[in-house]
Chain A
Amino acid sequence: MWRDAALVAGKDLRIEGRAKVSLNQVGPFALVVLLLFGFAFDQDRPLLVQAAPGLFWVAVLFSGILAVQRSFSVESSDGAIDSLRLSRLEPAGIFLGKVAAVAAQLVVLEALLAVGVVVLFHSRLGGAGLLATSAALSTAGVAGAGVAYGALCIGLRARETLLPLLLAPVLAPVVLSATEAWRSALGLSSGDGWRWLALLGCFAAIYLAGGSVGFGALMEEA
């Protein structure tokens, strides 16, 4: 299974490395979202600093949806998904491989967005341990749920609009927990940020386990 996952992740990242869609399109889109937040809050800099963790994770959510759509659009064109079905790779391996590839792209996007938040919103990053742990768990949750729902929507005509409608409410707990953890890490709230990691960990574990078990059936039906 792990070998299959590595193969699929390598394949997806190789396609991304050649096409550079995330780098050339999704990354700039995420930065534009940050700029738009800046316009929306105008000159209210203290408010921007306060809201920065939430804005960061909303930007990650939007970018994550795009990354998942991209991850499955390469499979739906030219009937590639049928080749994947017939390849005798384990469905759990395919799922984990696609999750790993989406997560790797999201990590790069998050690093880019973090720089954007520091430069544009004048946030001061601190609490590196909490920031990194919550980001890792959130990324696993976003990628796990995203790939599970991406597989669910892959064969549908209206997948471009249906995926955000299905995925955004599902990812709401991740955005909430990650925002609270980051607020605590950045010293913007007095709450204990580490307790939010339990919710993030549960979410990621449920989707990674559920996706690994059900991905085969989803691919067959989609």
Chain B
Amino acid sequence: MPQAPAARLSRTRRTPSRLSRALGWAAALALALNVWWGLWLSPPAPSGNSAPPGVVEGQFVRMLYVHPAVATMCYVGFGICALGSIAWLWPRTRSPRWDRLAVAGAEVGAVFCAATLVTGSIWGRASWGVWWTWDARLTLTAILFALSLGYLALRRAVENPHSRSVLSSVVALLMALTVIVDHYATDWFVTLHQGETLFKPDPSVYGWQLATMIVSFVAFGLLGAWLIVHRYRLEELEERYGSLAFYSAVVARRSEGSSLQAGLGEPAGAVGFPRLEGGPSGAVPTRAVAGGEVPEAADIVEPAGLAGPAAGPAAGGNGQQRVGMP
């Protein structure tokens, strides 16, 4: 019986659409182009005495085609999370869409943040000789990752959708503060991490390197957008079908209770099974979900195996189940 909502979900709606499929293919193509240009077409940077100061040397330049783009997408993800949270907290713009966007941004941002730490660590090992060093940029990124894990854990811990949105929005704003400090860490603190490479009057990269770096930003940007779109839709489906599963469980439990009552010949309510208000009259119990989207009655009665007790009042089944009622 619990599989019924999942079965219905697979029949009705999934996360892809025509547009998101196109986005996914575009991201895959751009990533393939990034790999091809980054590993084969783009030459290694000059090294040794011929290398200009402040420029990434030799083969390490290939990290430029992954790490900055991934780190930027980490910031973009947390930025979207902060924007969604502010828009949700602002009474005039409050909508469950903003909350979904916030969680999608945070989760994708956390994935890119982990990728930033891993790729940065590999780069650090190659250029500084250590996997990790106590540098302001590195440490703040690690703190940001821990904060994002806390944000996601908080969202899972709060059951009430409204409370979840309020509490997680507050934590998201704090995360945004850390993103800003992290971004300017190379300017504000003495740090080993190099500063701006691209967006400065005299960029340190040019030619093939610059072109491949731009491709990497496009590729990871498309990948991030694709992930956010899917995560947003997944959240929407979770809200809808999570409620449906809840109702299914309640109805199944009531069904068990009714069967037992029928078997024992005792009055309803005497065997200690929980009963919801409105149950005997057949009214569907309401439950607040994010954005006030209460599943339709048709959604609740449709899954196979649930039709008996839920459809009972309409079919007169409720009276049959309550054998022994005075």
Contacts and interface: CB of A to CB of B under 8 A. Distances in A.
Given A172-B143, A221-B163, A156 B174 contact: no
Interface in B286-312: none
A168 B146 contact: yes
Interface string A130-174: 000000000000000000000011011111001001101110100
A214 B171 CA distance: 12
The secondary structure that dominates the B interface is helix
Interface string B138-169: 01000100110110011001101011001100
A217 B163 contact: no
A218 interface: yes
Given A165-B150, A221-B167, A156 B143 contact: no
B174 A170 contact: yes
Contacts of A158: 153, 157
A80 interface: no
Interface string A192-222: 0000000000000000000000100110011
A172 B134 CA distance: 13
Interface residues of A, number: 19
Interface residue SS majority, chain A? helix
A214 B139 CA distance: 29
A155 B167 CA distance: 11
Contact of A218 (B157, B158, B167, B174): B167
A152 B150 contact: no
B153 A162 contact: yes
Nearest to A148: B170
Given A156-B157, A162-B154, A169 B166 contact: no
A214 B173 CA distance: 13
Given A214-B170, A221-B162, A221-B163, A169 B153 contact: no
Contacts of B157: 153, 156-159, 162
Interface in A70-118: none
Nearest to A167: B150
A157 to B, nearest CB: 6
A1 B158 CA distance: 30
Contacts of A162: 150, 153-154, 157
B162 A169 contact: no
A217 B158 contact: no
B167 A166 contact: no
B170 A166 contact: no
Contacts of B171: 152, 166
Please name the 4 residue pairs, one residue from A and one from B, whose CB atoms are nearest each other, closest first. Answer: A169-B146, A166-B150, A221-B163, A221-B166
7 contacts: A152-B171, A153-B154, A156-B158, A158-B153, A218-B170, A221-B162, A222-B167
Interface of B: 139, 143, 146-147, 149-150, 153-154, 157-158, 160, 162-163, 166-167, 170-171, 174
Given A165-B149, A166-B153, A169-B150, 7 more contacts: A152-B171, A155-B158, A156-B158, A157-B157, A162-B157, A168-B146, A221-B162
